[in-house]
Amino acid sequence: MSEEVQKAKFKTDFLRAHIQATKGCGRNFCLNPNCAAFPGYPSLDPNQAAAKILSILKSAPNGDIEASSDFFFCPEPTSKHSIENIKVADSAEIRNAMQDLKIFGLNFIPNNYLSSKNKSIDWEGLSNFFGYLSNLCQEGILDNNWLYQAIENYPRDRYSSLYIPRIVLMLLFMPELSDIENYNTLAKLAELLCLRSEFLEEFSFYIDDLDQDKLQNILWNVKQFLLIKILDGYRGNKRQISYVMQLTNAVYLSNERNKRLDYKEFYNDAVNIEERNDENDEGIEEWKEEEGKIDIREEYKAFLTAKQQNLTINDPRGFSFAFYPWILDANTKSTFLQYENKYRMLQVIHNPINLILMDIYAILEVRRDNLIEDTLSQISSGRINFRKPLRVIFLGEEGIDAGGVKKEFFQLVIKELFDPSFSMFNLYLPQRIYWFNPDTLEAKINFELIGLVLGLAIYNGVILDIQMPLVVYKKLLGIQTTIDDLRELDPDLVKQLEIMLQTEENVEEVYCRNFILETKMFDQVIVHELKENGSKIPVTNENRQEFVDLYVDWWLNRGISEIFEAFKRGFFKVCEGDVIHWFKPKELELLICGNPVLDFFELEKYTKYEGFNRNSKTVIMFWEIVHSFTEEEKRKFLKFVTGSDRAPINGLGTLEFVISRNGDDSDRLMTAHTCFNHLLLPEYSNKETMRKLILLAIDNAEGFGLR
């Protein structure tokens, strides 16, 4: 290009860019951030615009503004970008116009639209237009598959791409997309959004403006899509499912920023199917998948493969629902966790040295009367690899640990560590919740032991009886604490703090508080400064919010930072994989503590029998007695047969419970294999005897063999 031609182009580009920056491109609305029609574009006078354009031209390669990464021109507007013109157009023009989806991106702007982020949409106008298009399809003027073709033909140029997030959002609400026959179009729309990661990010921020009903509308379509595609053959639809999952992930991220839906709304029953029980559950290499269903083991294998081979998210070989854990309910996540733990166990067990030594278990030998010291000494010795399956031996007892001894060990350790004599925790009444004692004199290793016990319980599939607030699980997962977390511990304290924040009185005169917090240890008052020189800084109306924030933070974070870090360190010594971080705090609590809701009718429904059947006289009497128990008696019974008084994470209906006939009528007590949730029940002849002997058994059940 000659110097003269280059100067002419420079002048032409400058004038065109100057007009675009001061008057716009001729559209009422434009998404080009270099255009005056862009919402929120700064109002520039001619001199300011000229200076800005000259700066861009000077920095552009060879002075070519179109080659600049910071600027580009809007294309010339056309009449078909106007909805009103389309409505009065002839059939041919309608068909042509609907092939350009920018018509949606450039229209449906509310009259009172003042946002600088361009996220508002005239939903009523859009709904009316969808009705208009539906009529055109019914009249045969517009093909039923017009949208699929329009997506296929949508231009990928720089300007058109700006409209993709907005277009996808609006088209998601087209009624026809909820029709099963249009699910391929829904997937195609998601594919358009997945062309670039920035489209997904922008789309997610558009979602921020949607209310609860609109979010649920999107989720309903997605859930139905997944159900149909999974039933139609999961393997053959992985690519389409991947695109739709990425779209839904953008919706989820928006909801995380601005809560409108409970996280459980994102669960999907098509994915959270009940896991099959296999005879051989140790060989991960033998995992199989049924056509048309989700196999959790296959999902975990795909997840591992994708991570190990660095496969991209759009590669069908690397797709797994495990990359979208918000779609999984607590029970399915716990199943993933079992496979992860099993995988880690097998890596240790199959170590050649362990195979030679047959050292496949982590053996813990403890005395009942010296439980904590024995446990600590063996843990601190470093000789036990807790990534192996745990086996516990109570010295001096006959019990062989097939699971039941281990369950009792965990319960006894927890009971002892939470004993008030240890002063590691404070008990808050009436909630009966334990919280870390900031003034404890106990060594941090004891808190690390509690964390390790929690981690080992998860790793070995044992439910614990722990009464701790939800904030413990939030902190383990790295979620920021709030005043509502302190409310669960001490609602009266929070109420006082909120009154202080809301009062119109003079806070300094009424409360006479400084930036300090007081605790008691052995009847001695201990003063903690909330900030430097806090004892000399009065709380006033101006700084009361800071005082409350520091007060709450001290109780939940600063005051217990060292002992909680020890607790957390112990927990993640065992639970260091990916899956544990998928859980929500409430789900993690259920995983560790089990489900407090005991539905014995669900337990009865799924119980299996050996030597009896569900219509046997003894079985009928048995369930009548159990259903008549008080809540405390039910918990004792459950602990007798399973080793825990809590239900599994998804309720008693998921418990593998077996009742076996154990001889004729006698005065013998029933017995149980807690390792296998197996009850051995004599064929008692009458209800009174059965009830008396069942209660006698559950009231005297602790330990294994001789003491």
| Pairing state between β 524-529 and 516-521 | antiparallel
CA 35 to chain centre: 40
**Whole-number Å distance between alpha carbons of 480 and 493:** 20
Sort 144 into a burial class: Cβ within 10 Å, 0-12 / 13-18 / 19+: middle
**Whole-number Å distance between alpha carbons of 560 and 447:** 11
Q: Beta strands of 158-228 (E only): which ranges?
A: none
**Whole-number Å distance between alpha carbons of 409 and 702:** 11
Active site residue 675: yes
503 phi, psi to nearest 5 deg: -65, 145
For residue 609, the surrounding DSSP H or E stretch is: strand 608-610
Q: Which of 25, 137, 575, 675 is catalytic?
A: 675
Place of tokens 């999984």: 328
Using the CB atoms, write b or e for 24-40: b if 16+ within 10 Å. Answer: bbebebbbbebbbbbbe
| Pairing state between β 608-610 and 671-673 | unpaired
| Pairing state between β 671-673 and 678-681 | antiparallel
Q: Are 183 and 229 in contact (CB under 8 A)?
A: yes
CA 551 to chain centre: 29
Length of the chain: 707
**Neighbouring-strand partners of residue 518:** 527
| Pairing state between β 524-529 and 608-610 | unpaired
Q: Coil, helix or strand for 636?
A: helix
Q: Which region holds residue 211: left if phi is over 0, alpha if psi is between -120 and 50, else beta?
A: beta
Residues 6+ apart with CB under 8 A from 419: none
Peptide bond into 165 cis (omega under 30): no
Q: Take residue 444 and report the two structure tokens written for it.
A: 């941090």
Q: Are 134 and 175 in contact (CB under 8 A)?
A: yes
Q: Take residue 504 and report the two structure tokens written for it.
A: 């119109």
451 phi, psi to nearest 5 deg: -60, -40
**Whole-number Å distance between alpha carbons of 704 and 396:** 10
Q: Coil, helix or strand for 491?
A: helix
606 phi, psi to nearest 5 deg: -110, 10
Segments in 63-180 forming alpha helices (H): 83-87, 91-97, 102-105, 123-138, 146-153, 158-161, 164-171
For residue 520, the surrounding DSSP H or E stretch is: strand 516-521
| Catalytic residue ranges | 675
